[in-house]
Amino acid sequence: MAISGFEGFEKRLELHFYGDDPMGLRRIDFVSIRQILDAVQCSVVSAVGNRCFDAYVLSESSLFIYPTKIIIKTCGTTQLLKSIPSLLSHAFQLGLGLCGCRYTRGSFIFPKAQPFPHTSFREEVLYLEEYLPSSLCYKKVCILPSKACHSWHVYTASDHHHMVDHLPNIFTMEVCMTQLDGVLARRFFRRRGDGNSGDVAGKEMTALTGIGDINPTALVCDYAFDPCGYSMNGIDGAHYSTIHVTPEDGYSYASFECVVSVDSDVMEALKKVARVFRPGTMSVSMCMGQNAGVADVCSRVAGALKPLGLEIRSRRVEEFPAAAGIVTFQTFTARRK
């Protein structure tokens, strides 16, 4: 818990590996997963999986494990980057080699409450440089500023030889929202004395808020915290989506993230997310391949949000080395009466 309130903005770590085992990272047993998360200072509260990957709802956000990719996203005052030494040790024991890393986060609401190594972006980068192998020689560090206060921090490192095809037909969208509509945010508070488990209360919130309609084909694993807060993971084939909500007045926050194919109707999902939360400020970051039609994607994002009263305030595009792709970052503010 931060000094002034709970820190909603997440830290996100994505690691890519290479190896011959079809199961790869999915062979890491649950005891080892718990040990990895202990270093981060969070735990598993619910889980689901399919033939492609495993998805865990955490006490602070989410964990996704594919055979050659792992994504950890944590909020609050968690020490996300401290998962790296243990993660690399388990992967190497499975015969996997690290070939890519991406670390992203927004601007913390309560930066002074963050523990090492998250006290500053500089410290985070130094920590990454210390623990990542030197074979990840294609690197870039940047901060994409914003007039709407959701500046975006990005670090990438990759081994060009193994990362060539990791972003051919998919992209990752990360959405951060603050100043949530007060009436809608109240839906993410538990009913006092409801007696339900977090799983049961989570399913109620999913239905009540319309989150279940964002991707009706996804299998949803959801959880409601006490007295307030909500997390969900959706799995749909090889793709995931995730939502996390901190609804308290004064520092309300919600995030939406999804990995989808380039031919999916992700803009419709984005509009549904905006309607669920009606944020005052919203940022949309997208990571995509070099040939994804960046200008068109950016225009489609702005076009999807404008009819909902969200006006674009800034747009940045950054190209990253090797096969780390292109990152776009757009911010929006609401026209409110």
pLDDT in tens, 25-83: 999 999 999 999 999 999 999 999 999 999 999 999 999 999 999 999 999 999 999 99
> In the predicted model, is pLDDT for residue 193 greater than 90?
no
Sheet holding 11-18, edge to edge: 44-49, 54-58, 61-65, 69-74, 11-18, 97-105, 152-158, 138-144
Q: Is 61 noted as a catalytic residue in this protein?
A: yes
CA nearest neighbour of 324 among 158, 137, 173, 105: 158
pLDDT bin (cut points 50, 70, 90) of residue 170 is confident
| CB distance 313 to 333 below 8 Å | yes
The pLDDT assigned to 1 comes to: 38
Report the C-alpha gap between 167 and 290 in whole angstroms.
8
The pLDDT assigned to 148 comes to: 63
The pLDDT assigned to 150 comes to: 76
The pLDDT assigned to 45 comes to: 96
Mean pLDDT of 10-33: 96
The pLDDT assigned to 10 comes to: 95
What domains are defined for the chain? 11-334 (3.60.90.10)
Q: Is 130 noted as a catalytic residue in this protein?
A: no
Query: How many other CB atoms sit within 10 Å of the CB of residue 336?
Result: 9
More confident residue, 257 or 289: 257
> In the predicted model, is pLDDT for residue 262 greater than 70?
no
Q: Is 244 noted as a catalytic residue in this protein?
A: yes
> In the predicted model, is pLDDT for residue 301 greater than 90?
yes
The active-site residue, picked from 244, 252, 283, 287, is 244
CA nearest neighbour of 13 among 163, 131, 165, 119: 131
The active-site residue, picked from 59, 61, 146, 255, is 61
* Radius of gyration of the chain from its Cα atoms, rounded to whole angstroms: 19
The active-site residue, picked from 10, 60, 124, 257, is 10
> In the predicted model, is pLDDT for residue 4 greater than 70?
no
Q: Is 124 noted as a catalytic residue in this protein?
A: no
The active-site residue, picked from 59, 146, 158, 231, is 231
The active-site residue, picked from 75, 99, 221, 287, is 75
- Give the phi and the psi of residue 141 in degrees, each rounded to 5: -125, 130
Q: Is 204 noted as a catalytic residue in this protein?
A: no
- Give the phi and the psi of residue 269 in degrees, each rounded to 5: -65, -40
Average pLDDT along the chain: 91
β-bridge mates for residue 157, sequence order: 101, 139
